[in-house]
Amino acid sequence: MKPLDPVELAFELMSIDSTSGHEGAVVAYACALLSGRGWRVRPIPVSEGRENLLASATTEPLVTFTTHLDTVPPFFPPRLEGERVVGRGACDAKGIAAAMICAAEKLRARGVPVALLLLVGEETLHDGARAANRIATTSRVLIGGEPTGSTLAVGCKGSLRATIHTRGRAAHSAYPHLGHSAIDALLVVLHDLRALELPRDPLLGDTTLNIGWIEGGVADNVVAPSAQARLMVRLVTAPDEMRALLERSVAGRAEIAWGVCTPPLRMETVDDFPTATMAYTTDLTELSNWGKPYLFGPGSIHVAHGNDEHILASELHRAVDSYERLGNEMFRQSMKEGRACAEDR
C-alpha cells in the first residue's frame, strides 16, 4: 500500500470544515481512510451526531497517539505558499493528526501495538476526551498532539471558565438615581478582578485572566437591569484555589457561574528531545485512563486560531520521524516496566 504523505493528508483533512460541534464529515473521512488501510476502527459516541474515532493496530494497544479534529471558527480552506501550508487546522491540529497517522502506520509495520485516538470538542468543552476516558483501554502511554514548536512539553497550564452576572434596576437614563446600573456594578467587579495578584508557579509561570466577552443592558436610554462577563483563567495551581480567590474578590457583589475546568498538568521528558512549558490547556487532563501522558507537536501556538494559521511542510515531515521515535521509545519503556512488574509479582 502506498505510504501516506503528511502534507497531502493534512490538505485533505483541512479541506473539510470541522468547526467544533460539526465534526461529522472529517471523522467520517478519517474513518474511511483508516479502515481502508487495515486499521481496527471503532467510533466512540460523544453526543447526537458526533463521535470520536479510535483506530488500533491490535486488540490491545500499548501506545496511543491522540489529537483533535475540531477547529475554531472561521473555517478557511488550505493553500500552499511555498513551504507554508496555510489554512484552518494547519497546526491546530489537523497537520498534527496527519503526522501522527503517518507515524502510526510506520510503527504498525514494525509490530508496535499502536492506536490513534482522534477526538472532537477539544476547542470547547473537552466532551470528546471525557467520552473517550469512559471506555476500557489497554493503553499505557498517551502521546498527545498540540502545536508545541516541535518541543516536548514538560507542563501545561489548566483552565477555568466562569460567568460573572450582576443585576440592577431599570430606570430612565435621564434619572439614573431611580435605578441601579448592573453595568456599572459589573465594571467595578471586573476592575477588582484585574487588579488581583494571581498565583505563580516556578515551572508553569503566571496565572493569567482574560475577560473574553461582555454583555449587558437593553438600550442607550435605559439604566441597565443586568450585565454579565465571561472569564477564562489559565491555571498554574489547583482550581479550588483560584475559585476561592475569585469568590473573595467578588465578595457577593455578583453571581458566579462556574464553567468547564481542567487542572494544570505536568509531564515527563524523553532524552534528546528539547522541552518547553505550554500556557494552554489540552485534552490530556481528561484522558487519565489512557496511560502516562506526553505532549509534542509541530507548528507554533502563536499562529493557531489566527487568520494566518500555518505550518511548514518540512516541519510536518520531521514530525512524522519524531512521533515514530517517541512511539518506539515509549513502547520499549512500557515493555521494560511490564517485565519489571511481572518479576516483582
Cell matching residue 32:
474511511
User: Which CATH number describes the domain made up of 158-262?
Assistant: 3.30.70.360
| Centroid of chain to Cα 229 | 23
Pairing state of beta strands 63-68 and 114-119? parallel
Domain spanning 6-156+264-344: CATH superfamily: Zn peptidases (3.40.630.10)
| Furthest C-alpha separation in the chain | 82
What average pLDDT does this structure show over 41-64? Answer: 97
Cell matching residue 19:
468547526
Question: In which residue ranges of the chain is CATH 3.30.70.360 found?
Answer: 158-262
Cα–Cα distance between 186 and 163 in angstroms, integer? 11
The one catalytic residue in 51, 122, 286, 309 is: 122
pLDDT for the residue numbered 341: 57
Question: In which residue ranges of the chain is CATH 3.40.630.10 found?
Answer: 6-156+264-344
What is the percentage of the chain residues whose pLDDT exceeds 70? 98
pLDDT for the residue numbered 342: 54
Cell matching residue 246:
475569585
* Active site annotation includes 122: yes
The model's pTM is: 0.91
242: pLDDT strictly greater than 80: yes
Q: What is the mean pLDDT of the chain?
A: 96
pLDDT for the residue numbered 340: 58
Counting Cβ atoms within 10 Å, is residue 85 exposed (0-12), middle (13-18) or buried (19+)? buried
Cell matching residue 110:
514494525
337: pLDDT strictly greater than 90: no
What are the pLDDT digits (tens) for 179-228? 999 999 999 999 999 999 999 999 999 999 999 999 999 999 999 999 99
What are the pLDDT digits (tens) for 113-159? 999 999 999 999 999 999 999 999 999 999 999 999 999 999 999 99
